[in-house]
Chain A
């Protein structure tokens, strides 16, 4: 009888689903699709290129997207433009100095203006952007898409898990990061427009 009463009392407690745990998403993409596109539009010359050496981890809770935190890392040497010689110059000491500054990072600390509609969340991410050894606090707009149980579909059924897609468009100034400030602005624009499209995987 006592056992029955305990079971009766505990039943509603057990029936309540446990709150979802935040998931950790790795952005090292086995499909090599993750990329950041950069565009510089100077009066005399436009430079377009992309970077695909992306890694990092983001913690995302589907029940509380506003608590998202993480760090995205881009290998400086993966920045490529259509001209091989120009790519070599860009990697050199005068510009990105990839030998001494091998990583470009953004570390997210806080999300503001969070709006969630279904599996999509838009927010302004407050964090620290580090380029060529110079760190600056920045706020950038992002769109997060949580794709539950889509990892297997993406990888051809190899693994089960969820995906988190992050998209963002923002700009930085190279002069803010000590990259040839005030020099050659007719050919290499000070403003660098960045478009980020990356997918992270949380395997189960």
Chain B
């Protein structure tokens, strides 16, 4: 159990950083509306529309780090099976 939690904590931390990096390493807040620009050559204007999506930001990393640290902390509180033998 102790080892499983520790491994899970590492997986969550690395997974979150990897996912964040793959999704563009956004240093702002998490975006759930993705902006699209459509140029209009006749008027020279550019239309802006939003569609649903997910681009993780620093808040996503913070939540993942908190989850990983919590799991690692809980794992430290669990007594080792072989302790005292």
Contact = CB atoms under 8 A, between A and B. Distances in A.
Secondary structure type dominating chain A contacts? mixed
Contact of B46 (A33, A87, A147): A33
B28 to A, nearest CB: 8
Specify which of B30, B34, B47, B52 lies most central, judged by the most chain A CB atoms within 10 Å of its CB: B47
Interface string A153-164: 110000000010
Nearest to A154: B42
A50 B48 contact: yes
A39 to B, nearest CB: 13
Interface size for chain A: under 10, 10 to 19, 20 to 34, or 35 or more residues?
A: 20 to 34
Interface in A127-170: 145, 147, 150, 153-154, 163, 165
Given A33-B47, A35-B47, A163 B33 contact: no
Interface in A179-204: 197-199
Given A33-B38, A33-B40, A154-B40, A80 B33 contact: yes
Interface in B10-46: 29-35, 38, 40, 42-46
Contact of B33 (A52, A87, A150): A87
A153 to B, nearest CB: 5
Interface of B: 29-35, 38, 40, 42-50, 52, 55
